[in-house]
Structure 1
Amino acid sequence: MRFDGAVIKEQGITFAIVVVKPTVLQQHSSEIEKVRAGFSRYFPRMPVILMAQKARGIPTYHGRTDIVKFLANIDPRRIPWKTYTAS
Structure 2
Amino acid sequence: MPKLQAARVTQCGLDFAVVLVDPKLFMNKNDLEAFAEQAQSLFPGVPVALLSYDDLKVTRYHGPDEVVAFLKQIRAVSLPWVEYSLGE
TM-score range, shorter chain: 0.7 to 0.9
Secondary structure of the structure 1 residue equivalent to 2:83: strand
Displacement of 1:37 in angstroms is 0.5
Name the CA distance, whole Å, in 2 between partners of 1:35 and 1:76: 20
Contact conserved, 1:59 with 1:76, CA < 8 A, in 2? no
Corresponding pairs, count: 86
Structure 2 runs not aligned, ≥5 long: none
Contact conserved, 1:48 with 1:63, CA < 8 A, in 2? yes
Root-mean-square deviation over aligned CA pairs? 1.4
The Cα offsets for residues 30-84 of structure 1, whole Å up to 9 and x where unpaired, read as 3322110111111000111011111033432111111111111101121111111
TM-score, structure 2 length as denominator? 0.86
> What is aligned with 1:6?
7
> What is aligned with 1:18?
19
> What is aligned with 2:31?
31
TM-score, structure 1 length as denominator? 0.87
Name the CA distance, whole Å, in 1 between partners of 2:73 and 2:22: 21
Secondary structure of the structure 1 residue equivalent to 2:77: helix
Secondary structure of the structure 2 residue equivalent to 1:17: strand
Written as runs of structure 1 = structure 2, the 5 A alignment for 1:1-87 is 1-28=2-29, 30-86=30-86, 87=88
Secondary structure of the structure 1 residue equivalent to 2:70: helix
